[in-house]
Each structure stands twice: as C-alpha cells, then as structure tokens.
Chains A and B, each alone.
Chain A
Amino acid sequence: MIRERYLNLALLAALLAVPVLAQVQGAPFTITLATKIAIFALAAVGLNLALGLGGLVSFGHAAFFGVGGYVIGILASHARNYEPFLTWPVEVAGTTQMLVLWPLAVLVAALVAAAIGALSLRTSGIFFIMITLAFAQMLYYFAVSWPTYGGEDGLPFYLRGDFPGLNTMDPISFFGLCYALLLVALWLFHRLHRARFGLALEGARQNPERVQALGIRPFQVRLLAFILSGAITGLAGALYADLNRFVSPAMLGWQTSGELIVLIILGGVGRLCGPVAGAGLFFLLEHWLGGLSEFWQFWFGLILLCVVLFARGGLIGALAKDQTHD
C-alpha cells in the first residue's frame, strides 16, 4: 500500500516535471505531449470510476468525451462569429470563458450519461458493453450527419477559451490548467473510493445481492457512478477540444472508447493513478513505435494482446506488487 502511494507521487511529479523542464529548454512539442497525457488521464479517471470501481465495462465513454468537446466547440464558434447560440425563448450568446464552459460541458455530459446509463444499466455483462458502444456510435453518426456544426469535417474554432489571469495559448499555462483539473479529479476519485458511496459501488460489483440485502439499490449506485464518470470524461473532452482548437466526430468514435479502456488496463484497473500511468505509457509507446514503424498500431496490438493474456494488473500492479485490488 505504501509503495503504491510513493509510486503515485512519483508519477504525478514526473508528469509535472517533464513539461516544466521542456519549458526551460524550449521544447513546446513535449509540453503538448504531456498535456495530451494529462487530458487522457483525466478522461480515464472518469472511466475508472465506472469500470474500475463499479465493474461497468462501458465501451461508450467516447460519447461523453465527444459531447464535452462539442459543448466547447459549439459555444466558442458562436462567440467567435458573434452569432447568438439561441434566439428563442431567450437570447443566449456563445462564450469563450473556460469557467463558464467547463461546468456546462460537465453538466451536458452528465445529462447524456444519465440518459445512456438509465437505459444501459437495465442490462449487464456483454449486453452492457454492446449497448454503451451502440449509443456512442449513435452520437457519432448524429455528429457526422448534422451539417450545422461541421458534420463529418469537424468544427475548428481557432482560439482556446479564456481563463482569468492566464494566456491559455501559452502551452505551459494550458498544461497547468489540465494538470490541476487532473489532480482535482484524482482527489475526488480517492475520496469517493473511501466514502460510503465507493464502498457501496465496489460491493455492487462484487456481490449485488448482498448490497441489496443491506438496503442499497445497486441500480441507483451504479447510475450515480456512471453519471459522475461521464461528467469527468466530458470535462476531459472539453480540455481536449481546447488543446486542438478543433472538435470532430472522431472524438465520439469507437476507437476513442477503446483507447480509454486500454489506458486503464495498461495502468491497472481500479487503481488511483492507473489512468495516469496508462496514459503516459500509451502516448510514449505511440510516440516511440510511431517513430519506428508506419504500422505502429500492429505492434501496439501485439503488445496489448500479450499484456491482456499474460500480464494482468497493469503497470502499477507490476511495480507495486501488492493485491489492493482483486
């Protein structure tokens, strides 16, 4: 247990130190890479809540990631073009204020998660996997065929949102924002894990009948976890949209959902910093293998296959050598 805590601190320190060093040396690409890692780690922290603690294998978290992104993209493009977002019943203008956009992205992603969760959680197992995948794909096709916000081509919006007192176009400032939000999400995950809610959720994964006998309805606990999970992933989607200053249906695609699961497995399911370790490993592998071969995904697939078949517990599990997670 103690070892895993040190490992977590080392990981978070490394994720902070690398871009700071890169800033000193003037290597903006490294900062962007670290920002990407922080954002995907944040998205995976969200998924880890549902998948790791709740055992809900959602193959549709791209839906929340993309929805968060589109909230930013749509409102920012309205603000840049000075067109009101809504004219009826009240006039609502677009905005570029991150402090307004973030809560909105979280709220919309939570609402979408509530709708998808309420339907999908009626089932379990293989059905749940297929249904979450199908609903995410529904949003993907909707984004592709809805022409107002770019359709298949996506929606560029040129400038990042504004944050009081910071120049968000400066890579290291933007990294700082993402890193801070990642820390908040990790703190939340840690607190929830230890709270009654987290215990009920883990109980619902391990033995739903017993949890029910204790007077807790597994459905409600799972739904709440799914909504929280979607909200956190939605916030990550909002940051990713701002990082690229572009949203496209690809954010909603099934590959994104698959990648988020891969991050968690690589890092270690249900572990606090599993998503951080997984995201770091994934993007470093992508960077390294991508430099070696044009067909890096082939080799990545083989590595992943070996990890699943032979090395369970992920990176943190391999390094921490304890059994805190079943």
Chain B
Amino acid sequence: MSLSLLLEQVLNGLQFGMMLFLMSAGLTLVFGVMGLINLAHGSFYMIGAFACAGVAMATGSFFLGLVAALAAAAVAGVLVEMLVIRRLYDRDHLDQVLATFALILVFSEGTRYLFGSFPLYLDVPPLLSGAVALPGGIDYPVYRLAVILAGGLLAVGLFWLVGHTRLGIRIRAGEADREMIAALGVDIDRLYTIVFALGTALAGLAGAIVGTLQSVQVGMGEPVLILAFVVIVIGGIGSIKGALIGALLVGLTDTLGRSLLPVAFAAFLPPSEANAVGSALASLLIYLLMAGVLVFRPSGLFGAVRA
C-alpha cells in the first residue's frame, strides 16, 4: 500500500471520526448532565438525514436541507424531552432503556410510514463536489475535507460553549450538583431541554452530512448510535474532550483496520482468504480497543473516576 493511499485512508478516518464526534457529543452531555441513557439518539440522526433529503429534493438546495435537518432534529428533541424524557430522569436505567427503545420503534415506523421503505439518495452540493489535489499527490473529495473542517469548527465551538459561556457554566454545574444549581435559581427544566435539544440537533446534523455519503434509510441511526456508545465508553461519560478523542480514535482505528488488515494478512495467506480474515478481524478492532480501555481505565480515558 502506497503512502498516498494510506494518507487518504487517514483522512477518511478523520472524516468518519468527526461524524462520530457530532453524534457522541450530544449523547455524552445528556449522560453527564442528566444521567440519562438515550437509545433514541440514533433516531434524531435519522430525522436529520430525512429532513435534509426531503428539503434538498424539494428545493434543490443542500444547504437549506442542512438548516432543515438542524431545525427538525432540534424541534423533535424539544418535543421528546418535554413529553417523555422529562419523566425518566428520576427512573432507573432500565426504564430509560425501555422508554427510549420504544421511541426508536415509534420514530422508525413513523418514518417508514412517511417516506416508505426505499432508501433516499442525497447529492453532494455543486459547491463542494469534485476533488482537490493535496500535497503527496492525492486527489481527495472536497466534500469529505469540508466535513473534517466543519467537524473541527463545531468541536471548537462546543469547547467554547461549554468552557466559556454562561450556558456552559450551568451545564458543568449541572453535571457536578444538580440540586445545588436548582437551589441557586437556575431553571433546571429549561436547562435540561436546551442540553437535550443541543444534542439532538448535532445528531441531526451528523445524519444530514452522512446522507450524501451513504443512503438515507430507516434504521440508519442505530449502528451509528452503538458506535457512539463505544466512543463514549472510550472517552469517558460527560467529557466533550473524551468524546472528541474517542471519536477520532474509533474513526481512525476502524477505517485503517479495514484497509490495512487485509493487506497485512495477504503477506502470508492466499488473497481471497486474507481478504475474508482481514475484514472479519477489522470489524472487531474498535471493540477490542474498547475492551483494552476498560481493562486499564474502567471509567474511560477522560471520565471522572467514580467510586
């Protein structure tokens, strides 16, 4: 495998990692601040993708689609938080798992009812189509570069939001001691709704971005949700920094494993067998990474050590 091909895979891994970060950031905030496990987070990813595909097909503008994805996922997030999630904060994790599992069924079947079972396809907008020549002699799609860039900007924006704004102070205070900040006069219900909607909007954005790279279909959210869980286990609950590092680690490990392992096995196995063994093992890599982190740091790389 040549160096330029390797570099291309590294970029693909970064792009995948950035998408995973958008997905994990909201999840980890909701875990950290509200102590809630939300299995339906993948549904907001799907809602974002469908809203983007629907609006982009109707208006012809991908960027309007992105706005629609953000808006749809945020509004759905606010509604779901106020109608369902709010009742679950005081419940045990089992009830949270069940209720959000039920939400997945409702959202998936509702989307199937509205859009049908056939996948939709989104085109890359003309502004971001084509490829650029990068140093090292590789042509890399502009769109994927833009995803990496946008992911990076959003990460910086989130760090700023959590680290340097009043909302961020409240979020961090809510993680540390929710009774105390309620006693200090912060409207905790509203804070929770905002945090939840922020997370679902980011998930919707991730879905819309990926909609041009993969097909948009019912059930697209759950595999990504489970990867986001792996990210959070690696990064540590409640940590945005952990989510970023974990997402990039998972993205790079998965992408590089899938391209390098079959090549590595080809050194001592016949090609067809090497391909099979390599790709089967590559699908295990991120979980092995997770297991490794668990053995050495059970609360994740950046998680608070809890007794």
Q: Which residues of A contact B (CB under 8 A)?
A: 51, 57, 59, 119-120, 122-123, 125-127, 129-131, 133-135, 137-138, 141-142, 144-148, 254, 258, 261-262, 265, 269, 295-298, 300-302, 304-305, 308-309, 312
Contact = CB atoms under 8 A, between A and B. Distances in A.
A302 B222 CA distance: 19
Given A129-B37, A309-B87, A301 B98 contact: no
Contacts of A300: 105
A101 B35 CA distance: 43
Contact of B230 (A122, A134, A265, A296): A134
Contact of A141 (B109, B113, B283, B294): B283
Q: Considering residues B102, B287, B295, which has the most beta carbons from chain A within 10 angstroms of its beta carbon?
A: B102
Contacts of B290: 131, 134
- Nearest 4 A/B pairs, CB to CB: A301-B105, A298-B109, A138-B287, A301-B106
A305 B37 contact: no
A126 B279 CA distance: 30
Contacts of B146: none
Contacts of B190: none
B232 interface: yes
A134 B113 contact: no
A290 to B, nearest CB: 12
Contacts of B161: none
Interface of B: 31, 35, 37, 39, 84, 87, 93-95, 97-99, 101-106, 108-110, 112-113, 222-223, 226, 229-230, 232-233, 237, 276, 279-280, 282-284, 287, 290-291, 294-295, 298-299
A254 B99 contact: no
A261 B84 CA distance: 19
- A interface, over-half SS: helix
A145 B279 CA distance: 7
A170 B283 CA distance: 40
Contacts of A129: 37, 93, 97
Given A269-B94, A304-B105, A309-B84, A142 B280 contact: yes
A238 to B, nearest CB: 23
Contact of B99 (A126, A130, A305): A305
Contacts of A147: 276, 280
Contacts of A120: 294
B109 to A, nearest CB: 4
A123 B294 contact: yes
B97 A261 contact: yes
A122 B233 CA distance: 12
B105 A125 contact: no
Given A305-B102, A308-B99, A298 B113 contact: yes
Contacts of B232: 130
Nearest to B222: A254
B291 A119 contact: yes
Contact of B101 (A125, A258, A269, A302): A258
Contacts of A59: 97
A132 B283 CA distance: 17
B254 to A, nearest CB: 10
Contacts of B84: 305, 309
A123 B105 CA distance: 28
Which interface residue of A129, A130, A134, A254 has the most chain B CB atoms within 10 A? A130
Contacts of B95: 308, 312
Contacts of A309: 84, 87, 99
A57 B93 contact: yes
Given A119-B291, A126-B237, A302 B299 contact: no
A135 B102 contact: no
